[in-house]
Structure 1
Amino acid sequence: MSYTLVTGGAKSGKSSFSESLLKNEASVCYIATSVMEYPDEEMNARIQHHQMARPAAWYTEERFLAIDEWIKETSQKYDAYLLDCVTIMTTNLFFHLLSKELDTDLERIETVFDHYTAKERQKFEGQIFSEWEKITKTIMETDTKAVIVTNEVGSGIVPMTSLGRWFQDLLGKVNQYLAKEAEQVYFVVCGIPQKIK
């Protein structure tokens, strides 16, 4: 079985719509990728809002690493998975990989990354794509029903920094890959879902 991809801008209603797609499933695992590796008051408030909004009966697994392994281990336990969201998972994964390689703190990462060559940047892009390929492959191999939520980053502002612009391009490529592999794709605008695939 393939998955459904739901995209849209910030506060477009994509998460609520995604949850509605699984309202009739008996057991749902909500994979929340907003794992707090670094203190962030604003993000913490967003996480709490999402926690309160989702159905109490759903199980929540908070992680952004080894999601494919988690699905393999639990695919017989849950009727469906909701992964929310691609943007945060990719962000967490990128900073996790970079901080591990550089052995430095978050504040210095942007300065160091600015001096990376195109080849060095492609290495990180390859690692991130590898994770998404493992997730989509696992969903299909385990015949799992899944909904994946992402942000339509091309509709937002152009970031001021070179790292931000590179990362926006990377997210756009990830979204294109996920949309190509998905069985269905919805674009949510002002709380109204439009089926585009």
Structure 2
Amino acid sequence: MIHYISGGQRSGKTKFAMQAASQLSSNPVYLATSRIWDTEHQARIALHKQERDHQWENIEEEKEVSRLILPNRTVVFDCVTLWLTNFFSDSHYNIDIALKEAKAEFDLFAAQEFNLIIISNEIGMGVHADTEIGRKFVDLQGWMNQYIAQKADKATLMVSGLPITIK
């Protein structure tokens, strides 16, 4: 089962995903995809880890999620935006390469028999990016979100902490 959860920044996506995972499993996996950019970001990550209790298995993988073998587990993938950023920056901001690599990696990972709850951001619903790289990333994110949503069994849009079922 793939449950896709999207929404704006601080819309309640992660809290909702973690609650859904806890209903499906007594020992869910939290898959964090962020690279550590600086000490402030590292402190933010440490705070997020403290918010998860002993029931959670924490795994960090910034890009090659398909090498994780998680049969019959419930996995919260947090998040597509940070994961996609890694492909985008590693491709020297080439949308075509980043999208192709991310789709292939997602397909390999999602082929497992598990419950995947995948979180993403709707960054194209906000202020128009004022840089070329920003505009490219908004496009890349939108195309990847569409790709994942099409493959998902369920899709939820979070708005102001409220879940809206869209699929």
- Provide TM-score, normalisation by structure 1: 0.77
Aligned-partner Cα distance in 1 for 2:128–2:26 = 41
**Residues 62-94 of structure 1: CA distance to partner in whole angstroms, max 9, x if unpaired?**
112221120xx3325xx3111000000000222
Deviation, 1:23, is 1.4
1:75 and 2:71 are equivalent in the alignment: yes
Report runs of 4+ in structure 1 exceeding 4 Å deviation: none
Q: TM (normalized to structure 2)?
A: 0.90
Structure 1: segments with no counterpart, 5+ residues = 99-112, 114-119
Q: Is the 8 A contact 2:7 2:158 kept in 1?
A: yes
Gaps of 5+ in 2: none
What amino acid maps onto 2:2 in structure 1?
A: Y
Contact 1:29 1:59 in 2 (8 A): yes
Q: 1:179 to 1:48 in 2, by over 3 A?
A: same
Q: Where is the helix percentage greater, Structure 1 or Structure 2?
A: 1
Question: Offset of 1:48 from its aligned partner?
Answer: 2.8
**How far apart, CA to CA, are the structure 2 residues paired with 1:55 and 1:80?**
16
Match of 2:54 in 1: 56
Mapped pair 1:30 → 2:30 = yes
Structure-to-structure mapping, 1:6-155, within 5 angstroms: 6-24=5-23, 25-36=25-36, 38-39=37-38, 41=40, 43-70=41-68, 73-75=69-71, 79-98=73-92, 121-136=95-110, 138=111, 142-155=112-125
On the 8 A contact 2:66/2:109 being kept in 1, the answer is: yes
| Equivalent in the alignment of 1:170 | 140
CA-CA distance at 1:56 after TM superposition: 2.5
Whole-angstrom distance in 2 between the partners of 1:177 and 1:121: 14
Find the aligned partners of 1:194 and 1:181 in 2 and give their Cα distance.
Answer: 18
State the identity as a percent. 29
Question: For 2:22 and 2:137, how far apart are their aligned partners in 1?
Answer: 33
Query: Which residues of 2 match residues 152-163 of structure 1 at below 5 A?
Result: 152-163=122-133
TM-superposed CA distance for 1:166, in Å, is: 0.7
Say how many residue pairs are matched. Answer: 166
Work out which of the two has the higher radius of gyration on C-alpha atoms and give 1 or 2. Answer: 1
Shift of 1:50: 2.0
Given that 1:19 and 1:54 are in contact with CA atoms closer than 8 Å, whether structure 2 keeps it comes out as no
